[in-house]
A and B are shown apart, each in its own frame.
Chain A
Amino acid sequence: MRHTISLLVENKFGVLSRISGLFSGRGYNIESLSVGETIDPAISVMTIVTSGDDQIIEQITKQLNKLIDVIKVVDMTELDHVEREMVLIKVAPKQEHKAEVLRLAEIFRGRIVDSSQKTYTIEITGDEKKIAAFVELLKPIGIKEFVRTGKVAIARESIKKE
């Protein structure tokens, strides 16, 4: 099963390689990973999407906790949480499809962040399903370039209080 794990880590050089090294060294899978500073510049937050059975996920969270630079590990999948990912998609539609692209972007609450004579670049944010649906619809029109941030996740407060 797929799990989204959120980590608070010391914002030091080498920490990312300790974490990626743990995954590669023990044969765990990383589907996506995103890192950024928190409000406290000494701490970074990482969101890792990984998969495995319960025993593997338990080992992953324990092994992450064991790393000296890891301050906190939360398996978001066990909590009610909000997940978001942003993608930038550059499409090069034929003349007759241009209106369709703009319409789709609007339906999915995407924004056109760059346009040229031949291309549009659309920014879209959402959870995995929304992004997948959007990409599916754009595919026949012709996706030229595609980049994604990897997932970030945060727990919902109402659940955290319990």
Chain B
Amino acid sequence: MKMTGAEIFIECLKREGVRYIFGYPGGVILAIFDLLYDSKDIQLILTRHEQGAVHAADGYARSSGKPGVALVTSGPGATNTVTGIATAYMDSIPVVVFSGQVSTPLIGNDAFQEADIVGISRPCTKYNYLVKDVKDLATILREAFYIATTGRPGPVLVDLPKDVTASKTEFIWPEKVQIRSYNPTYEGNRWMITQAAHLIAKSKKVVILAGGGVILSGGSKEVRELAEIIEAPVTMTLMGLGSFPGAHTLSLGMPGMHGTYYANKAIQESDLLVAIGVRFDDRVTGKIDAFAPHAKIIQIDIDPTSIKKNVRVDIPIVGDVKRVLTVMNKILKEEVREQWGEVRKAWLRQIDEWKSERPLSYTFSNEVIKPQFVIEKIYELTKGDAIITTEVGQNQMWTAQFYKFEKPRTLLTSGGLGTMGYGFPAAIGAQLANPNKLVIDIAGDGSIQMNIQELATAVLNKIPVKVAIINNQYLGMVRQWQELFFNKRYSYTHLDTAPDFVKVAEAYGAVGFRATKPSEVEPILKEAFKIKRTVFMDFIVDWKEKVYPMVPAGAAIDQMLFEEPEEKPEKKLKAVK
């Protein structure tokens, strides 16, 4: 049967199992939007900015494991997706972005709303396509989803010229995808895995470092199994939070720049680091030459380029985390069988000492809301059973520290690119993928204003996401750096002209709450979680509060700064259990 490019597009997406497309219309993409007008299987969620569309698709993907899809027009529509695409690229998220393009004869002529989006997005996509002939369309769409979701996942962009969507061809669904030059390695080398198991058996001070790759491969169960077999503590990178239960006795929380004292200490003192699905970002390693100086390193990753990129590695294992660990755990249980408890006793005791020496803490106040207190309360009330998105900065780090993520895919945060404005649209995408879950964006007053227009999207589509704005009237993380490293010169970080967020929410038809006192925090959260509507909560917090511990950029990760004693009256010290 002959079909137009637009019809083929819809048919292929249906067959790929796409339920939602996040998008924004425009001139050259109208043929597809026209079909979406009465599509029953696929619903278009109209965002209010193309960046929001891609972040929403990203949130959908992170929370569900299924690819997220965005559809935009050419030129500015396409260029507005770039931040969203780069965000997904840095965190290896399967997002497929379709952009309209001017008709093929016009390409290169500087036509109205023309941009070379394939050229622009090349360094921030896993792959991208310009469809030049409608005959190639079905194959390209199939490949786009295949590439986005296999191996190390990542965003793929497909540029669709107007004439390609309009012209007709015979529709042939490619049953199989075959790309001769693309064959990700899933099975780890068995000999290497055995070597790794024996090295684990020989080592005493073992630390497991779990990253985003664990979540992407669905290997959380296997990581937990490994940790429990060998009785080794686990520290999770920002992207890895949720890959191992945060409240587990073997959990060390997050390492690195704003990591826990005990996670950083453990890494620095360890004799073996088992790195699983991590890429050793500079925020994790600190000064690279001083990172884990006594440790041998086993690294498991599906992407060979992640191995030995930043740190030396003694046993590299290329493969899918889940499959590699399944084999490794079996070897450990059946072939190695150590008396782990005995081997690990002294090490775990040492870690307990570090834990009690410097727990994560902040100074509670009765007068002013501490930002950490809001996040603790959110954790208490949800018991970890919620999907949390964050913006970027202090709100993100406090969330990583004070919310104990129990399950994978419950923290959606822009870890690699650090994109302000990510959390709110991502929450919208996550809520659509998880209609029965509580989805909360923990935001800052700066970040939320970067995609606040998506309030319209949430309200119109009755998406009941909750946004907790940690409002300190500052770009807090930048202000913190200015305070510590730039002589307290707060150059352009004071946001003293922020809007009234309650009124903004109400203007869009959402619900707005404000808390100025600690006693108001819990009732407002409870109320917000009950309402089946979009809610903005404006928490006016102590602007002086900083994220601690902190490793200054370029220092070794055990060179940490802590809250100054004079800021912290001992008797009010509140430890986090």
Contacts and interface: CB of A to CB of B under 8 A. Distances in A.
B122 A68 contact: no
A68 B181 contact: yes
A92 B142 CA distance: 59
B391 interface: no
B179 A68 contact: yes
A62 B304 contact: yes
A58 B179 CA distance: 24
Question: Which 9 residue pairs across A and B have the least CB separation, nearest first?
Answer: A71-B181, A62-B305, A68-B127, A62-B304, A68-B182, A25-B123, A63-B305, A66-B305, A21-B122
Given A17-B119, A25-B123, A66 B304 contact: yes
A18 B305 contact: no
A68 B123 contact: no
28 contacts: A9-B181, A14-B118, A14-B122, A14-B130, A17-B122, A18-B122, A21-B122, A21-B123, A25-B123, A55-B308, A59-B305, A59-B308, A59-B309, A62-B304, A62-B305, A63-B305, A65-B304, A66-B303, A66-B304, A66-B305, A68-B126, A68-B147, A68-B179, A68-B181, A68-B182, A69-B181, A70-B181, A71-B181
B181 A10 contact: yes
Interface of A: 9-10, 14, 17-18, 21, 25, 55, 58-59, 62-63, 65-66, 68-71
Nearest to A72: B181
Given A21-B122, A62-B304, A71 B180 contact: yes
Contacts of B126: 68
Interface residues of B, number: 17
B308 A58 contact: yes
A18 B130 CA distance: 14
Nearest to B143: A68
Interface string B172-193: 0000000111100000000000
A69 B147 CA distance: 12
Contacts of B127: 68
Contacts of B119: 17
A70 B127 CA distance: 12
B238 to A, nearest CB: 23
Contacts of A14: 118, 122, 130
Given A21-B122, A65-B304, 16 more contacts: A14-B118, A18-B122, A25-B123, A55-B308, A58-B308, A59-B305, A62-B305, A63-B305, A66-B303, A66-B305, A68-B126, A68-B147, A68-B181, A68-B182, A70-B181, A71-B181
Interface string B487-530: 00000000000000000000000000000000000000000000
Interface in B101-127: 118-119, 122-123, 126-127
Contacts of A58: 308
Contacts of B304: 62, 65-66
Contacts of B123: 21, 25
Contacts of A62: 304-305
Contacts of B180: 71
Which residue of A9, A14, A65, A70 has the most chain B CB atoms within 10 A of its CB atom?
A14
A66 B183 CA distance: 9
A58 B118 CA distance: 28
Contacts of B118: 14
A70 B309 CA distance: 20
Nearest to B152: A66
B259 to A, nearest CB: 26
B58 to A, nearest CB: 21
Contacts of B122: 14, 17-18, 21
Contacts of B147: 68
A66 B181 CA distance: 9
Contacts of B179: 68
A10 B129 CA distance: 14
A79 B551 CA distance: 45
Interface in B295-337: 303-305, 308-309
Contacts of A70: 181
Nearest to A63: B305
Nearest to B123: A25
B137 to A, nearest CB: 16
Interface in B141-156: 147
Contacts of A25: 123
Q: Which of A17, A63, A66 has the most CB of B within 10 A?
A: A66
Nearest to A65: B304
B416 to A, nearest CB: 15
A65 to B, nearest CB: 7
A14 to B, nearest CB: 7
A63 B307 CA distance: 11
Nearest to B147: A68
Nearest to B129: A14
B136 to A, nearest CB: 11
A152 B303 CA distance: 29
A61 B22 CA distance: 37
A85 B147 CA distance: 37
A21 B127 CA distance: 13
A59 B311 CA distance: 12
Nearest to B181: A71
Nearest to B119: A17
A18 to B, nearest CB: 6
Contacts of A10: 181
A21 B122 CA distance: 8
Nearest to B156: A68
Contacts of A9: 181
A63 B303 CA distance: 10
Contacts of A18: 122
Interface string B428-458: 0000000000000000000000000000000
Most chain A CB inside 10 Å of its own CB: which residue of B118, B123, B179: B123
Nearest to B151: A66
Contacts of A55: 308
A37 B304 CA distance: 28
A1 B119 CA distance: 32
Nearest to A42: B180
A62 B147 CA distance: 18
